[in-house]
């Protein structure tokens, strides 16, 4: 168990350290309050010193915003091709996360945040972290993420293809990009049974069940995702038609349709929270393709839902993808394409704007050769 220590009122104190982003526990921690200036806080954080906040909660949020503006000034300018720009962008984002992650708050017993004007964070923290095990220091930036995720879980995300909301749990990729859901909603169905690999919130399994499939089996390797999918499918009254199993990529048996929407970028995640975006060495993509022929019923199809963003960032070529498909004993039976509708595709300040603006998301219909 990692801990941090600091001196307060001439007494050395300690607490557990927790970071969902897997940031290391700080070696040196000082107490800070509303008297600290943003320039001083940023300088200390850049040098590796953590600041345990004891002032006003809203003041801490304002300080974090001011530190973020200073960190953004250090962002390198794109230099070189798209792959170089991507790796520089990720390196800068990781550095920014480390620096801002050194502004800390203390969660007391029961996940209580004892700061002036602080919200009640107990329910959100219990959902994300589990039951309290005593005083715990966490990065304020991560706590804000926990609170935002809790609001999504409570309110849900509207999915037009379902005519209903799904409720993502903390650490489970939310279906905020509706275009890939729409592809699965309109592609012609090849049969009556389906597997949904890497189900996450269960949104694609729910769409398939609502389209009339008799049996859907949804899998995931993440405990949070398995619980999230089960709760969503139960809320949608689909638990009787969709079975959630795991942790596993493939369930046992065969199906007329196997759907997989793997993380779209072949890069190493910096934390568990990034596994919904980054697929190291295309591991999930390869696992889906290599196992597809053995899990398809005769005449069945595999649906690979994938963006070409990796190709536009020069992280993978179209020939690489087609080679993986061919090596797995598969052929392309058809493809449906759509353009992104998310706000980042229109954000001209994004260093990766050119690639995001040109991005195409595709549903590849794959069959056994």
Which residue among 133, 151, 169 closes a domain? 151
294 and 232 in contact (C-beta within 8 Å)? no
pLDDT at 349 over 90: no
Q: Please indicate, yes or no, whether residues 197 and 344 belong to a single structural domain of this protein.
A: yes
Q: Which residue has the tokens 């050395």?
A: 12
Which residue among 85, 119, 151 closes a domain? 151
SS3 sequence of the chain: CCEEEEEECCEEEEEEECCCCCCCCCCEEEEECCCCCHHHHHHHHHCCEEEEECCEHHHHHHHHHHHHHHHHCCCCCCCCCHHHHHHHHHHHHHHHHHHHCCEEEEEEHHHEECCECCCCCHHHHHHHHCCCCCCEEEEHHHHHHHHHHHHHHHHCEEECCCCEEECCCCCCCCCCCHHHHHHHHHCCCCCCEEEEECCCCCHHHHHHHHCCCCEEEEECCCHHHHHHHHHHHHHCCCCCCEEEECCCCCCCCCEEEEEECCCCECCCCCCHHHCCCECHHHHHHHHHHHHHHHHEEEEEEEEEEEECHHHHCCCCCHHHHHHHHHHCCEEEEEEEEECCCCHHHHCCCCCCHHHHHHCCEEEEEEEEC
pLDDT at 245: 98
pLDDT at 150 over 80: yes
Length of the chain: 369
Residue with more model confidence, 341 or 322? 322
Q: Which two tokens stand for residue 262?
A: 């793997």
Which residue among 120, 151, 182 closes a domain? 151
Q: In what order do the strands lie in the sheet with 296-307?
A: 242-245, 215-219, 193-197, 255-260, 296-307, 361-368, 330-338
Query: Do the bridges between strand 112-113 and strand 193-197 make them parallel or antiparallel, or are there none, so unpaired?
Result: unpaired
User: Which domain does 139 fall in, by range?
Assistant: 3-151
Residue 54 pLDDT class (50, 70, 90 cuts): very high
Q: Please indicate, yes or no, whether residues 174 and 110 belong to a single structural domain of this protein.
A: no
Query: Do the bridges between strand 361-368 and strand 330-338 make them parallel or antiparallel, or are there none, so unpaired?
Result: antiparallel
206 and 219 in contact (C-beta within 8 Å)? no
Q: Please indicate, yes or no, whether residues 354 and 219 belong to a single structural domain of this protein.
A: yes
- From the list 266, 260, 295, 269, the residue with the least C-alpha distance to 283 is 266
101 and 144 in contact (C-beta within 8 Å)? no
Number of structural domains, the chain?
2
Q: What is the CATH number of the domain that holds 290?
A: 3.40.50.150
Q: Which residue has the tokens 């279906």?
A: 175
Q: Please indicate, yes or no, whether residues 176 and 147 belong to a single structural domain of this protein.
A: no
pLDDT at 95: 94
Q: Please indicate, yes or no, whether residues 100 and 139 belong to a single structural domain of this protein.
A: yes
**What is the model's pTM?**
0.92
Q: Please indicate, yes or no, whether residues 236 and 117 belong to a single structural domain of this protein.
A: no
Q: Please indicate, yes or no, whether residues 180 and 139 belong to a single structural domain of this protein.
A: no
Q: Please indicate, yes or no, whether residues 18 and 53 belong to a single structural domain of this protein.
A: yes
Q: Please indicate, yes or no, whether residues 146 and 235 belong to a single structural domain of this protein.
A: no
- From the list 295, 289, 292, 262, the residue with the least C-alpha distance to 278 is 262
pLDDT at 342 over 70: no
The CA–CA distances, whole Å, from 256 to 32, 194, 213 equal: 60, 6, 10
Q: Please indicate, yes or no, whether residues 205 and 256 belong to a single structural domain of this protein.
A: yes
pLDDT at 299 over 90: yes
Query: Which tens digit of pLDDT belongs to each residue from 71-108?
Result: 998 776 666 788 888 998 899 999 999 999 999 999 99
pLDDT at 45 over 80: yes
Q: Which residue has the tokens 């897997």?
A: 22
pLDDT at 340 over 90: no
Q: Please indicate, yes or no, whether residues 192 and 134 belong to a single structural domain of this protein.
A: no
The per-residue pLDDT of the chain, averaged, comes to 94
% of the chain beyond a pLDDT of 70: 97
Q: Please indicate, yes or no, whether residues 266 and 349 belong to a single structural domain of this protein.
A: yes
């Amino acid at each position: 168990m990692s801990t941090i220590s600091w001196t307060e009122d001439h007494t050395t104190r300690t607490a557990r350290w927790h970071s969902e982003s897997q940031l290391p526990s700080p070696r040196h921690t000082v107490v800070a309050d509303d008297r600290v200036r943003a320039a001083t806080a940023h300088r200390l954080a850049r040098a590796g010193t953590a600041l345990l906040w004891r002032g006003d909660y809203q003041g801490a949020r304002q300080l974090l915003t001011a530190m973020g503006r200073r960190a953004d000034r250090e962002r390198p300018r794109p230099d070189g091709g798209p792959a170089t720009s991507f790796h520089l962008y990720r390196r800068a984002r990781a550095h920014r996360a480390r620096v801002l992650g050194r502004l800390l708050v203390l969660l007391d017993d029961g996940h209580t945040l004892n700061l002036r004007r602080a919200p009640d964070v107990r329910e959100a923290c219990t959902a994300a972290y589990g039951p309290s095990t005593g005083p715990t220091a966490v990065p304020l930036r991560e706590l804000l993420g926990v609170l935002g995720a809790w609001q999504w879980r409570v309110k849900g995300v509207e999915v037009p293809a379902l005519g209903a909301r799904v409720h993502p749990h903390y650490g489970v990729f939310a279906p905020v990009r509706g275009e890939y859901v729409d592809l699965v909603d309109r592609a012609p169905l090849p049969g009556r049974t389906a597997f949904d690999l890497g189900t996450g919130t269960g949104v694609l399994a729910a769409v398939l069940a609502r389209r009339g499939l008799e049996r859907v089996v949804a899998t995931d390797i993440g405990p949070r995702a398995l619980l999230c999918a089960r709760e969503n499918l139960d809320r949608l009254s689909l638990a009787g038609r969709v079975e959630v199993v795991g942790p596993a990529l493939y369930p046992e048996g065969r199906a007329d349709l196997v759907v997989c929407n793997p993380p779209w970028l072949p890069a190493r995640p910096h934390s568990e929270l990034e596994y919904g975006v980054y697929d190291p060495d295309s591991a999930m993509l390869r696992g889906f393709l290599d196992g597809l022929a053995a899990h398809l019923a005769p005449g069945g199809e595999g649906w690979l839902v994938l963006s070409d963003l990796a190709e536009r960032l020069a992280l993978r070529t179209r020939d690489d993808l087609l080679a993986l498909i061919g090596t797995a004993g598969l052929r392309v039976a058809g493809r449906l394409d759509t353009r992104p509708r998310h706000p980042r595709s229109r954000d001209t300040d994004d260093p990766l704007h050119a690639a995001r603006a040109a991005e195409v998301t595709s549903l590849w219909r794959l069959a056994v050769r």
